[in-house]
Structure formats: C-alpha cells, structure tokens
Amino acid sequence: MALPRHVKYLIIGAGIHGLSTAYHLASSLKAKGNGAAADILVVDKADIAAGASGIACGVVRNNYYQPAMRELMAACVEEWESDPEAYHYHPVGYMQISPESMHADVAEIAAQQRAIGYESEFIEGEAACAKYMRGLFSDWQAPGITSVLHEKRGGYAHNKASIQGLADKATGAGVRILTGVEVKGFGFGANSRAVTAVETDQGSIDVDQVIVAVGPWVPRIWEMLDLPDRIDVKDLEGTLHHDVDMWRFWCLQEGTIAVEPSYGMADDGSMPPVIHVDSDAPLYSDLDGRLLTDEMWGIYYKPDFNFGGVQGGAAPYKVATPAADVAIDPYGPESPEFVVDGAFKEMWCSALAHCQSRYKGQIGRWLDEPSGGIGAFAADNFPVFDRFRENCYVIADSNHGYKMMAVGKLVAEELLGRESALLEPFRFSRFAVGRLHPVSNSPFPWS
C-alpha cells in the first residue's frame, strides 16, 4: 500500500490505543454516514503489536485507588467483555491481597466499586482472609494478610493475539494500516497552532487530524510537537512545584516459570483469578534463606497458556537518568527488556513460594527470555488524554495502557465532537491547577 498524500485522520501507533481508536472511529463514521473509513490511516514504525501492547502481561482489572481510574476501567472491562473471542480475553477475575497498612485504601476501593455497580467481594481480617484464600488454594501461606478484594470481573487477555484481533476488526471496518513507516517530524501551519503534515521516512502526509498513540515512545513525539519537557505541578495540598520532569521512566519487571499452566490452577481445577499480593512481611530467598527485603513489596501472577507457564511481575524500578536512546526506543537492543535481572528473578520466585508452598524450589524453571521493558510515565504517573496544537490528540497512557481497551472508543467519540466525562480527569491542565489523582500506599506507582 502506497503512502497517501492526504488523510483526514492519521493515527500514529498500531498498538491497543491506536487500533482501538481507528476501529471505533471507522464504526462511528459508518454508522453516522458522515465520513469514510478510508479517511483513517494507522502508521507504525515496526508492526502491529510490536511495542508495549505486544509484550504486555495482559492483566485487565478495575483495582485502582483513584476514583477516576476506577470509573474509566469499569468502561474498559465492559469493552473487553464485548467481544472476548476476538480479544482473546479470559474473564477469570482479579484479587488484590494486602496487609494492614493498605487495609483502609482497599476498603475505600471496595466501597466505591459497590457505588459504581462493579461486582466484587471484600474480605477483612487475617483469619477470614486466610480461610478465603485456602478455599481457593489449599497451599496458601502468605502471613499478615488482612484484606482480600476479589473482583469478579476482569481477568487477562493474550497480548499479541488480542491486538491482532483488534487490527482485524479495524481493517474489516475499512481502516488502512501501514507498517514500517516511521514518523520523523511534523509540519505546522503559518501560525504554528495546528499540525498540517506528518513527515515520515517515506514522505510527507497532509493531515486534518493527528492521533498520537505510541505508548512508551511518547516523549519523542512530545518533543517533535515542541511540547514542554519540564512543567509546573500543583500538588493536592496546593503547593506549586516548578521545573518538574514531564516524563520519567520505570523499568517493568516481568517473567515466567515454565511449569505447566495447570500447575497454577485452583484446587477444583478451575482457572483462578489473577493474583496480586502486596506485603510488608519480610521476604526471604527461596535459594538460600537470606533476607531479600523487609520493606513493602508486591507481585502479581497467573497461569497463562499464552506464556506457557505461570507468568507475572513485580513493582517496577526507576530508571534514574533516562538516556536519549532509551527515551526514543524503549524496546531497542540496549533496553532492560533484554537483560535478565537475577535479583528480580530471585525476588519474584521467592515471593511466589512465600505465598504458595507449591512454588518452593521452582526458580530453576525460570524462562530466560525478554520480558518487561521501559515505561514512560507522566509527571504524576497517570495518563494524559488531551488535544494539543488544536488538531493533535495525544493518548499517553503512562503505562496503564493495555488494559484500557475503551480509551480508543472514548477518544473516537471526542474526535467526532462528543466530550468524554471519563477522560476529563486526565487532561494536561490538571498539573497546573492541582487536580491530581490521590496516591495509595501500594508499592506500585500506578495503583
């Protein structure tokens, strides 16, 4: 397919947000009879699901301390549920398992899930939590757990297969997808207020609207759009912080042990919920018994036939000084995605054994293969969904991305003139005016 000279809607990025936006935009245009899907072009410098969407662990959950995130994620879960076959989605549920230091936070999440009609069960007290978990896994042994929030909806999806399913829906609706096309810059109108063209390595495309959906590569596009790399941020207490980095980088830690996925099933043979454990109990090595940490730690895991074992991850760590090549190409050959982190391997496998006795001694089954990667997080670690330069819509998911299937649908509606109340809390203006999202006691920056 040749590069067109002009398109009405140019979407940069063939991951979950770009393809979801394209599909829903095409469907809406067709339904309303006021445009053609051929006016929509998706370009990607590599391929469909070649970046963050294609290596995501696939967890879909509502579990957020922030009310705006909970409401948005409820819509996203509904979107996953709308076509589980095409999206390769498994609605097994999700469990947030926490110590007393997080009890109040999780109780608030449970209460607000009830308020929005999102089905979940909340178990409180150490004895009650142990009994509930042993009703699922007889070998459950994690100490000090005083709350379990069991979301009956949510679950996980197969990463690349789900994105390919989304791409098939988009092309079926008439969307054009061109891969191997790298964006190099933008052309601006005489007053520099609007994008008039997108420059690529294969030529220039005149555009009416641009949608940026490039995941962790967003700082590079942000720079091309001449948007600020340092900003003022007013916190929830009203204190103004000057010269704050707009983007910061975290290394995501994930991996797999190559046991049969059935090894991780519930005692009754069923697929269990995705398990997320935060703990302040000391964590000892499953290799030699030494203390690994006496600070708060967290992991998540699930049996997964897509990964061929029990797969999951742990809290990320900050990349202290993001080098230019990391910011530009988070999944390049020098990325931590391609580094086997022995410390993470030992921590995650030891944490599995801490939670369930069946995982004791299973570190030898660790799969030494690329996983994780670099995530680009906004100044407050939450997404930015907003228009810039009049006709450029930026979807910056701040690494919350894969699970947020409905964002593309909501963005498509905004492109057609219907503002979204669910996206409103994620405008760029929140940093200057102090409408930030509250922060929980979780060791994860996105919870």
Number of H helices and E strands in the chain, helices first, is 11, 23
Q: Dihedrals φ, ψ of 238, to 5°?
A: 95, 0
Look at residue 228 in the predicted model and tell me its pLDDT: 96
Q: Is 142 contained in some domain? A: no
CA 14-379-384 angle, to 5 degrees, is: 40
Ramachandran bin of 315, using left for φ above 0, alpha for ψ from -120 to 50, beta for the remaining angles: beta
* Tens-place pLDDT, residues 177-213: 999 999 999 999 888 889 999 999 999 999 999 999 9
Distance CA 447, CA 442 (A): 6
247: number of Cβ within 10 Å? 21
Q: Domain for residue 31, yes or no?
A: yes
Contact 148, 50 (CB under 8 A): no
Q: What is the pLDDT, as a whole number, of residue 317?
A: 79
The reply to whether 183 falls in a domain is: yes
**At 220, which CATH number?**
3.50.50.60
Is 319 inside a domain boundary?
Answer: no
DSSP string, 134-180: HTT-TTB---SEEEEEEESS-EEE-HHHHHHHHHHHHHHTT-EEEES
Q: Determine, yes or no, domain membership for 354.
A: no
Q: Which residue in this structure is represented by tokens 């707009």?
A: 246
Contacts of 176 (CB under 8 A, 6+ apart): 1, 4, 38, 40, 41, 42
The reported pLDDT for the residue numbered 265 is 97
Number of domains in the chain: 1
Domain enclosing residue 30, as ranges: 1-92+155-236+382-447
In-domain check, residue 11: yes
- Bridge-based pairing of strands 373-378 and 247-257 is antiparallel
Could you tell me if residue 315 is inside a domain? no
Examine residue 397 and state whether it is found in any structural domain, yes or no: yes
pLDDT of residue 32: 74
What is the pLDDT at residue 322? Answer: 46
Per-residue CA distances from 309 to 303, 306, 313, 404 (Å): 6, 8, 13, 25
Q: Which residue numbers in the chain have pLDDT < 50?
A: 321-328, 331-340
User: Are the C-beta atoms of residues 423 and 410 closer than 8 Å to each other?
Assistant: yes
Nearest to 57 by CA among 260, 281, 228, 275: 275
